[in-house]
Amino acid sequence: MSKQHTPPPIDAHGQVLHDLAVAVGHAHKVEEVIRTSAAVIRLAFEARLAGLYLRDPSSGILTVGPYEELSPIFAAGLPTIRPGESLLIEEAVTSKKVSIWPVEALGHPAIRTGLEAEDFRMVACVPLLSKAEILGVGLIARPKDVPFLPIELHTLSAIGNIIGVAIENARLYEELVVCRDQLRFLATGMLQTREVEAKRIARNLHDVAGQLLAAVHFKLEELAEVLPPQARGHLEAVHSQLQQAEEQLRTLSHELRTPILDDLGIRPALDFLAQGMAARTGLHTTVGGSLKARLSPSIETVIYRSVQEALANVAKHASSTRVWIELEQQPQQIRCTVRDDGIGFDVRATFAARGGLGIGLLSIRERLEEMGGTLEITSAPEQGTTLCMTIPLQDDDVVPDPDHS
């Protein structure tokens, strides 16, 4: 006699589908989708996902999916199935419906032998569908001679659709990750190119322009010797202006590419930037927070340049007296905020009137987006402005340095 199997109540099948949809909806890899689905099938149907094959849309060839708990015969002994090799699978692929066969009636010897070796007697071939396209099939096997009931077939068909959509989404996510990594690689290369050029310009400002100004000083001293005493006061004024120009060039050279950023890291570099801002504009600028480790040069450079642009914006537009810069390193991201006590503005109305971000804020956002980061702007009239800049961190973006704080 056939072994009796009591399926879950009808409302329980709906719960199974809901739970599966929620679970695989969080899966970002095809293997995670398969593993989650296998667990649901095992618990809900007293059955096992014995084999799962993903279909190549051009050739129709089915290749075993990435899942370590599949029956050994499918994981190793039967890596691919060509169109027409299995009537069970061909029937499911052609009809796009669940196909049920007794294991002993299967014509494909490898599939039949593999299932019989694990004492399976009934097998359901479930098509995995996404947008009515076959992405693959799942072989769901049941031990002994327990049949699949009509309500279970309906649920298995719905499960095939859920798994198919989840696999498609996981593939798209994996492609997105690859594209994101490629974009970040290109952005890092472009950033390095810009910084090399900035370093070259900074060096020229420091060396070449400095030498020229020194030569002008020398010529002025020669000129002072031949001019009447009453004219020397004008030369002293020129000397003073030249010294101011030298100081400005020195500051500009350091801000273009400060050695502090390369040698000591982002926090000391921001301290230097804040001191320069205070000296030039009178803004009281405070830097807070600390990092547990050095970050990659590309991340530190983006933060430095973004804060530099933010401070320039504050000096031009905010009419503020104080600025606060705060660094916060979290496990998966670095966050930097720049807050001022200036006049603020209506974010939505201002951007709508201008047709988008101004050049300074747009530059900050583009730098951050190149690294997968975001810019959040919070402001209101007479309430100051806060820029929150966030960049995700990968493992190789953090460089442990116990002496760095």
pLDDT in tens, 189-227: 776 777 677 777 766 666 667 677 777 777 777 777 777
Two tokens at 309?
């642009």
> Phi/psi at 62 (nearest 5 deg)?
-100, 130
CATH number of the domain at 116, please: 3.30.450.40
Reference 324, options 274, 374, 290, 367; nearest CA is 274
Please, which residues have CB within 8 angstroms of residue 307's CB and are 6 or more apart in sequence?
Answer: 270, 273, 325, 336, 338, 389
Contact 311, 265 (CB under 8 A): no
Cα-atom radius of gyration of the chain, to the nearest Å?
Answer: 34
**Residue-range definition of the domain harbouring residue 131:** 10-179
The CA distance from 307 to 288, in Å, is 13
Same-domain pairing of 394 and 277: yes
Same-domain pairing of 171 and 268: no
Count the residues in the chain: 405
> Worst-scoring range by mean pLDDT, 7-11, 93-97, 222-226, 261-265?
7-11
Asked whether residue 158 is assigned to any structural domain, the reply reads yes
The pLDDT value recorded for residue 127 is 92
CA 271 remoteness from chain centre = 29
Mean pLDDT computed over every residue of the chain: 81
The CA distance from 161 to 341, in Å, is 55
Two tokens at 378?
């919070």
- The residue that leads in pLDDT, 1 or 236, is 236
Asked whether residue 142 is assigned to any structural domain, the reply reads yes
Residue the block writes with tokens 């094959």 = 53
Asked whether residue 90 is assigned to any structural domain, the reply reads yes
Question: Tell me: the pLDDT tens digits for 87-105?
Answer: 888 888 889 999 888 888 8
pTM for the full model? 0.54
Please, which residues have CB within 8 angstroms of residue 233's CB and are 6 or more apart in sequence?
Answer: none
